[in-house]
Structures are given as C-alpha cells and as structure tokens.
Chains A and B, each alone.
Chain A
C-alpha cells in the first residue's frame, strides 16, 4: 500500500515519458495521477491506527542483507501527516502550473511527479540507505524545476540551492554510515533502540545537524532560500516552502531526537539561539523587502524558527505544536506563494510597489489574501494560531526567556505581513495595468478552496490533526525519557 502511494507518481512520470506526447494530455495525466495518489493517501489515513506509536503499513524486502540493508517502509503519525500534506499540495501545484508553464510541459510534469515520489519516499523510508538515496534524489527534480522553468537568475539560484543542500548531505552521509556501523543495521526502527555514549552522539548530531539545518533552513545557512524562491516558478515555490523545508525538521524529529536524545539536549541551547536569531532577524529583514516572494521567503525562515523551537522544547505541547506548525506553514506559505503567482501571471512582476489597489479590481482575491495573511500572522481561529500557541506554550515551560523573545516574532510578523498586504491590496490604483486586472478564475479559486478549508478547520477544530500525532509523540517522548531527556508535562503542578 505504502509503496503504491510512493511510486504511483513515478509510474505516472514514466507513462508521460513513454506514452504521452501532447502537452495537454500530459497535464491531465499528471493531475489525474496526483489526485489518485491523494485519494490513496486518504485511504492510508482512514486505515491508520491512532492509538499506537508503532510504525504502520510496514513493508520489508531484503536488499543487501549482508550489510543489514533492506527496502523498509512504514509510517507513524508524524510522517503520515507530512505525507498527506505532500499528496494534497502536489495536485494543487500541478493545477497552478496549468497555464503558467508553456514550455517543455511534459518534462515539467514528469519532474513534478518524480519529486512527489521521492518526497513521499523520504517520509516513508525506514531504512537509512533508502532514506539517504531518496533524500538526495529529490534534489534533482527540484534543481531542474528552478534551473529550467525559473526566472532570470535561475542558474545562480539553482546552483546555490543544490550546492548548499549537497554540502549538508555529504556530512550526513558520514553520520549515517557511522550510525549504521554502530548498530550493525540500516533499519531505522532498530537504530532507534540503540543507546550510544554521549561523545558519539555529539558527533553524530553535528553530522546530521548540518544537513537538516540547511534544509529547515536555520540561520545562518538560510540565504539559498530567498534566491531559490524568487527564481522558482510558482508551483516550485509552493512545493519548496510547503514540503522541502519540512525535510529538515522531519530529520530532527525522526533521527536526532529519538536516536541522539542526550546530544539533542546538549545542543538545545545552541538550537534555541539559532532559532531565535532566525525568528527575529529574518522578521526584521522581511520588513524591508521590496519583492513579494522574497518577503514570503524570509517569513518562512522566521516561521520555521518556531518549528525548531517547538521540537527542541522536548515536551508534548512543543513537539505537537511544532509538527502542526510544519503543516500550517506548508498550507499557508504555499497559499501565499500561489497568491503571488496569480498576480505574477497577470502582471509579470513581483515588485511590491508595482501593485496597490488590488482590492478594487479583485475583491475575491483580496479576501483570500486577507485570510491567508491572518493565518500567517497567527490570528486565533486560523491554523497559525493553534500551532504557534502550542509551540510557545511548550517552549515557555522549558525556558521563559526563549519563549518571550520568540513571542516578539509574532509582533514583527504582524508588522511585515500587514505592511505588505496594505501595499499590495489596499490603497488607490496607481498603474494602468492594475486597473485592467480581472478577478481570479474558477481554476485559480479551486487551488485555494482546500487550503482555505484547512486553515479554518485546523483553526477551530484541530483535534483530527493532533490526534494523529498524540501516540507518535508519546512514543518519541518515551524514547527520549529513556535517555533521561524531556518532560511529559509542561507545567509546574502535576495534574
């Protein structure tokens, strides 16, 4: 079942390669395949047992038995929620590229489907080698998406993105090999049971850290992100912000925290420091941006700072909030990039000063923009609030000072988002081409509806989403407690 979900998009890509020769049919096949994948993943959700922390839908096929390598797949609540996010965002991305991609459509769709396969694979892989291969493989389609269908400086951006992440992965490879050597297996569930001495943990942690930190991205290795976003096509930005940024945080959750609990604890102040810098520093930088996509890119760094803070709070509220915030960021920043794409398709500019007065010509668009802006700002009733609140509540229990500084990010976040919103949507119309704009089409509206529903659903009733996480986070906390780290309760009084 898992393998089907994982490789269906790749099969679709192969089908386009061999059997489809027209652009129009390539679009339809890609959309159909990605929707089928989404429906299948909903089946996974339905069949998933939320009461256990064990990996489910397990598959294991021996591969290189001598080295303890096998094709191992399985999901827990954390990876399943990220998998669902991926399968949801991919059809949206394909639909968003419907008209804006005009050249090499077949290749584009193939790259997208391949990317989906690799990403799902990363979330499902329970074997370190498989994980590593997929982790690296997903760079290729993303590199192509930016480098071929990107903006004017696409080559610089694509190279920067590729080299940054590759530099990180090389160090991770060493860490993976050391870890596998220590445990005599590449099986991730087996390795989670391993208990390593602190000095080994510390080195391994650093090895993983470089790779994950680039992906999150954490300050100061974040500078590839604004460039990549600005140059990437709309759908590329959506998938980059929505899914690829989650890889780093997922890595921390899947490997660093459970396998290296003491080292995680040891480095927590360091992570806190970097995250706080990310939250405040990038928020200030975002305040001064003149390019819409760059602004949202910087805001992503700031928001991902909250995620890493939550994960390293080592308590339930922080971790559940962190994972929820990953989902939220995927939905909201994805939606914001799509919104930018809508006007970019019409005016071919992302310069904030070139807009203004959009509300007068595009009221539906303005309303959508408002809702997602408020979700990004973390207004109660939207998903952003639930995530941010849980994270801060969890972090507050671990360190009041850290939570206090992080909370200033909430104020700054409101400042740059509202300022941007005002410049783009409010005000008088100052340019003739803005005056001639038409409101969003039904196809474009269809992109936003599922995201809109989820923003309010998670905002008002996050239970179905949090319930998916409870048992897995429980398991994680138990594992960390075995290493003497973390606290179940974020309070001073026992209940």
Chain B
C-alpha cells in the first residue's frame, strides 16, 4: 500500500476540517490542522522525490479509484509520480507550506481565519490533483479546481466590490481558456479513444491515428497540431499569456499570501507544467511549438514593458510573473522543456519571496500598496529590505543566484535553437531581461531608498512577526541556492521518459555550447537595467516624470497595459450585455410572446369577439343574412 495518495488527502482533510468545523475549532486549531495537512504532504513529497529523482527509482503509479465509466470511456483518479511530477510536488507543497505559515502572521487580524486556511488547503489539494494525474481528465479536474480556489481566494474579502469583480474576471477568463482546453480533450478522446497519458503518447508516437481531421471551417488540419493548440489555449488562460492575461493583475485584489502561492509560484505555472507533461504531443508538431514560442516571447516582452510604469507594488510583481511565465513558455517552445521546468522551480522560490516580501512591506505600511507613498524604508525594516533584495537579484539574474542559471539557460536555448521563432524569442527575451532589471530595481528604489513620502506611515513601519519572517528566510535560501542545486535538471535526459525529445530538437544540448558573449549578454542587460533604474530613481528622481511627460501616448499605452481591458470590455462585455437585453426584450417579450403567444391569444379573442357581435339577437339582422344567403345560393345554383 503506497503512502502517495496521502499527499493528496492530507491537505484535503485539512481543508474540510477547517472549512466545516473551523468556527467551532477556533483560529489556532484551524491553522494547526491545515498546516499539519500540508506538512504531511510536504514530507511525503520529499520522500517521493528522493526515491524517484535522487535514488533513481521507478515511476510510481497508484490508481485510487475509477471516476467515470461509460462504454469504452474510462477514467481513473490516480497518483502518477515521475520526475516531472516529483519536481512539481516539491514546489507545490513547499511553497504552500511556507505560505500557510506566513499567513498565520499576515492574516492575524482577519476574523475569517478558518475560511482562509481552508481555501488555501483546498487549493493545495486541487493543485496536487493537477500534477499527479495519469490522464487528461484528472488534469482538467485539478485545472478547474485551482480555478475555483483562485476565485474564492481572490474574492476572499467579499465585501469589497473590486475583489468580487476581480474574482469573477479571473474565473471567466480562465473559463475561456478552459473552453479551448476542453475541446482539446474531446479531440484527444476522439482520435485516440483514451485519455490516459501513457496510451495517448504511445499511440501518438507510433503514428497509428488519423493524421488529418476536419475542424470547423478550417478544413482538414493536422491532428496533433490541432490538439496541441487547443490545449495551449487552456495554458494561456491559466498561465496568463498575452491575450488571456488580463485577469492576473486584477487578481492582486486577493490577500498577498494568495498572490504568492497561486499567482506566482504554483497555479499560474500549471500551463507550463501541462505543456511539459504533454511534450510527447507538442514534439510532434512544429507549428504548435512555434506558436508556443511566439506567444511566450510576446508575453515576456509585453508584461515587462507594462511593469516598467506600474505604481502598485503588487502589480509590478504580478506583471513580472506574467513576463517570467512567458520565458518558461518560449523555452518549452524551442523544446527546452527541462529549462522551462528549471525556471519554474527557481521562479517559485524567488517570486514567492518577492510577493511575501511585498506583503511584509504592505503590512509595515498599514495596507498601503502605492509605491509613490513609500520610500526610505530600508532604514526602518532592514531585514525585509535584505530579503527583497535577494529576491530581486535572483529574479534579475545576478550571477550565481537562482535566476542567473535558469533564465540564462532559457535565453541560450532560444539562441541555440537556430530557428526564426527561436531567434525572435531570444531578441524579445533579452530585451525583456533589461526591462526586468529596470522595473525590479525601480521597485526597490521607490520603496526602500530615497525619502519617505508619507512620514506618518513611515514612522509606524515595523518588521513583520516571526511567523512571517521564517518562511521568508526559507524562500530566500531557495532563491540563493535553487539555481545551483537544480542545475542537473537541464542536463541531458534528466527527466527521462517524461520529456522525450524529437530528433533535431536539441536546443538545450546546444545551449551549453553557445559563445561566451551570448552567455554573458543577459548579465550585460542586467547592468544596463540597473544603471537606468539608478539614474532615474536615485540620481535624478524627477527625470522619470519628465520622460513620461515627453511621450504621453506611450506612457498611457504602457500604464493601461496596452489597452487590453478596454478593448475586451467593448468587444465582449458590452456586446454580451446589449445582446442579452435585446434578445430578452425584443426576442422573447416582443416577438415570441408579443406576436406569437399573446398575439395569437389576442387574435383568437378578436375573432371570437367579432363572431359574438354578429349574434346580435335582432331578428332583422338574421332575416337580412338569410336573404343574402338565399340570393347567393340561388344565383350559384341557377
């Protein structure tokens, strides 16, 4: 009997206990129960990781029970752990555990404690379902499950109108992505008659399937390309890629620990994980890979450019997350899946650190999130400053910290792919790297350097309590060491059967041999970005305002995130509302009921009334009618 299913059920149990009996158990007990659940999952995950990845054990596959059976359609709930899943297990349970502990301090004043911890554990359960499935439907289960948890947590402060709207937006935009994802699953089932990973990948690899199918008005299309692109639409929603990214910045309405866990380290990386998990399919379609590369690169560039001008501390980090996810995707697009997973892992540490650090800053400033009202905090909260600096350096790729290894290998892979899309991705990625450094240090400088903008808040700023500091220290250790420790992941074949590469897809192998100038170029970009940030925010603090004034249109374009929200509002929200009203008032009430149902009733009523009025009761009316009738009859007969 394997203990692996306990990895799933321990957090679920914690969530149920805290959710159902939380108000009776009280605050402290709810915390303990959920933290215990996640810790059990963490310990077991570490065990599984050691067995599978360190001791080189076999893939562990434990079916739990059959979910849906109808005819030949058969789907199980299962625990499937190979090296790919093992890495995800560590990331998910590790960050989740840190975030649970951090929340004890951060949410201390909130009366709704049990509910919050219950949601966090529920999220952890759904995310673990997502990564441990052995089939596409369990993946989808987790996929929508994390969407629900995200919805609940973004809207946690449900009294706030903006939080509720952000929650709905996150759910709906993700639903749009899931729409594509579901169609992808339907296509997989139709083509392969199964949703099991192993079977699907085996059949796809063997080539025994119909290679072209008709899809809507596109005519016959390549089967695998179609499947991959549909699945990728789902990934774009979940991982906030350009086009379906609009929910992520708004999701910052949720409590900060949520942003760290869901919107930085785990849920948003589900799309990346999915592409890596389905890499045996993606490897078979050059078109799909090219799309993944371009979308990823465009997102990396777009989000970084928007991050340059944000003033809300959490929004800067949110756009940064969006941008870093773009890096992960274009790495996957050039078949450097291992680099993608490597960056996913390191990013989880330093981005969770940055978010939780921002939370500490917000906490210190009494729920102020606008960086323009901060400044000079390094003297008041030096420890937080140090931790934020570590996170920033790790993100921006300062030598020998986590991001240095993982981001560089991604850029090198894109360069070494020697394809048009790879080169485009490299150019956009290297530009985005400079922007990343700029906005990250802009954040540091605006928050911790210079003069305090709000002296009252500044005077009352304080370091966070121990329960918040301890997780930050653990994550900081990860941000420093994860890159060095995790390097073996990107060596050839570390992921074994989980990520088989098609012949010719050797970008990652070549990445180790690029020219040293290419290798050190990101560091050059780092210095350039740092210099600019220093020039604009330390040396000459008024200069940034002048630049914004010089190009107002460009500034507005960036500040409004390329106007995506406004476009979508006009295009979808307004038109759906107008259409809904029109169909209701005109379609249902005027046409169907007005002319149809009630109209018919009225006609019948009128006809009956007319007939009734003919029966006047006056003898001479009847006599006249008879006479006319008689005349007509005679005329006709004669």
Cβ-based interface call for A392 (8 A): yes
Q: Does any Cβ of A come within 8 Å of B107's Cβ? A: no
Confirm or deny: B628 has a beta carbon within 8 angstroms of a beta carbon on chain A: no
Q: Which residue of B lies closest to A220 (CB)?
A: B592
In angstroms, Cα B182 to Cα A419, docked, is 23
Considering the chains assembled together, what is the distance between the CA atoms of A414 and B203 in angstroms?
35
Complex contacts, B191 vs chain A, CB 8 Å: 491-493
Residues from chain B with a CB closer than 8 A to the CB of A390 are 68, 70, 73
B601 nearest in chain A by CB position: A163
Within 8 Å of chain B (Cβ to Cβ): is A411?
yes
Instruction: Point out the residue from A374, A381, A393, A422 that lies within 8 Å of B164, measured CB to CB.
Output: A422
Expressed in whole angstroms, the Cα–Cα distance for A461 and B72 within the complex equals 17
- Chain A residues, Cβ within 8 Å of B151: 418
**Cβ contacts under 8 Å, B161 to chain A:** 427
A411 and B144 CA atoms in complex are apart in Å by: 13
* Known contacts A160-B597, A285-B584, A320-B70; A400 and B215 CB within 8 A of each other: yes
B186 in complex: contacting residue of A164, A401, A403, A493, CB < 8 Å = A403
**Mask: chain A, 144-171; 1 = CB below 8 Å from B; 0 = not:** 0000000000000000100110000000
Interface string of B136-148 (1 = CB under 8 A from A): 0100110011001
- Say yes or no: B68 contacts A466, CB within 8 Å: yes
A contact patch SS: helix
Give a binary string over A216-246; 1 marks a CB under 8 Å from any B CB, 0 the rest: 0000100110100000000000000000000
Pairwise interchain contact B596-A490, C-beta atoms closer than 8 A: no
Contact between B175 and A411, CB atoms less than 8 A apart = yes
- Determine the distance from Cα of A428 to Cα of B68 in the docked complex, in whole angstroms: 41
Q: Is the CB of B172 within 8 A of A493?
A: no
Task: For A407, give its contact among B73, B182, B193 (CB under 8 Å).
Answer: B182
Which of B213, B583, B596 contacts A285 (CB under 8 A)?
B583
Report B-chain residues with C-beta under 8 Å of the C-beta of A401: 216
Residue pair A284, B193 in contact (C-beta under 8 Å): no
The answer to whether A106 has its CB under 8 Å from any CB of chain B is no
Contact, CB under 8 Å: A490 / B583: no
**B98-106, B279-287, B573-581 - interface stretch:** B573-581
Kindly list chain A residues whose C-beta atoms are within 8 Å of the C-beta of B167: 422
Contact of B70 among A316, A359, A460 (CB under 8 A): A316
> Which residues of A in the span 454-495 have a Cβ within 8 Å of any Cβ on B?
460-463, 466, 470, 488-495
CA distance A408 to B179 in the complex (A): 7
A36 at the interface (CB under 8 A from B): no
Q: How far is the CA of A428 from the CA of B601 in the complex (A)?
A: 45
- Given A407-B182, A414-B172, do A281 and B159 touch, yes or no (CB 8 Å)? no
Complex Cα distance, B193 from A489, in Å, reads: 9
B494 within 8 A of A: no
* Residues of B close to A224: CB separation below 8 A: 597
Contact of A462 among B68, B183, B192, B577 (CB under 8 A): B68
Chain A residue with the shortest CB-CB distance to B180: A407
Closest Cβ of chain B: how far from A291's Cβ, in Å?
11
Q: Which one of A284, A321, A403, A419 has the highest number of Cβ atoms from chain B below 10 Å of its Cβ?
A: A284
> What size tier do the contact residues of chain B reach?
35 or more
Q: How large is the interface on A (under 10, 10 to 19, 20 to 34, 35 or more residues)?
A: 35 or more
Contact assessment for A490 and B145 in the assembled complex, using a CB-CB cutoff below 8 Å: no
Which of chain A's residues have a CB closer than 8 A to the CB of B172? 411, 414-415, 418
Q: Chain B residues with Cβ under 8 A from A205's Cβ?
A: none
With A284-B580, A380-B141 as contacts: A220 and B596 at CB distance below 8 Å: yes
Contact B190 A492 (CB under 8 A): yes
The CA-CA distance from A390 to B70 in the complex, in Å, is 9
Question: Contacts A404-B183, A414-B175, A422-B164 hold; do A493 and B70 have CB atoms under 8 A apart?
Answer: no
Q: Do most interface residues of chain B lie in helix, strand or loop, or is the interface mixed?
A: helix
Neighbour of A223 across the interface among B164, B580, B593, CB < 8 A: B593
Contact A380 B580 (CB under 8 A): no
Over the window 156-177 of chain B, the binary record of Cβ atoms lying under 8 Å from chain A Cβ atoms (1 yes, 0 no) is: 0011010011011001100110
The answer, yes or no, to whether A38 is at the interface (CB within 8 Å) is no
Asked if A411 meets B176 with Cβ closer than 8 Å, knowing A396-B190, A492-B190, the reply is: yes
A449 interface residue per 8 A CB criterion: no
User: Residues of A contacting B579 with CB < 8 Å?
Assistant: 284
User: Does A410 have its Cβ within 8 Å of any Cβ on chain B?
Assistant: yes
Q: How far is the CB of A476 from chain B (nearest CB, A)?
A: 13
The reply on B611 being an interface residue by CB < 8 A is no
Q: How far is the CA of A393 from the CA of B183 in the complex (A)?
A: 9
In the bound complex, CA of A380 to CA of B192 (Å): 22
Q: Which residue of B lies closest to A285 (CB)?
A: B584
Q: Contacts of A379 on B, CB cut-off 8 Å?
A: 144-145, 148
Q: Is A119 an interface residue (CB 8 A)?
A: no
Complex: A360 Cα to B158 Cα, angstroms: 9
Contact of B193 among A418, A462, A493 (CB under 8 A): A493
B588 within 8 A of A: yes
**A393-B189, A396-B186 are known contacts. Are A223 and B159 too (CB-CB below 8 A)?**
no
**Closest-CB distance, B73 to chain A (whole angstroms):** 6
Cβ of B209 within 8 Å of any chain A Cβ, yes or no, is yes
* B183:A403 contact, CB within 8 angstroms: yes
With A389-B182, A393-B73, A466-B69 given, name 7 new contacts (CB 8 A). Answer: A223-B588, A226-B588, A289-B584, A381-B141, A403-B183, A414-B172, A470-B70
User: Could you list 6 examples of A-B contacts with CB < 8 Å?
Assistant: A223-B592, A285-B584, A380-B140, A426-B155, A427-B161, A460-B67
Residues of B that sit less than 8 Å from A by CB: 65-73, 137, 140-141, 144-145, 148, 151, 155, 158-159, 161, 164-165, 167-168, 171-172, 175-176, 179, 182-183, 186-187, 189-193, 203, 208-210, 213-216, 576-577, 579-581, 583-584, 587-588, 592-593, 596-597, 601
The 8 nearest A-B residue pairs measured at CB: A288-B580, A426-B158, A284-B580, A396-B186, A491-B193, A380-B141, A316-B71, A287-B580
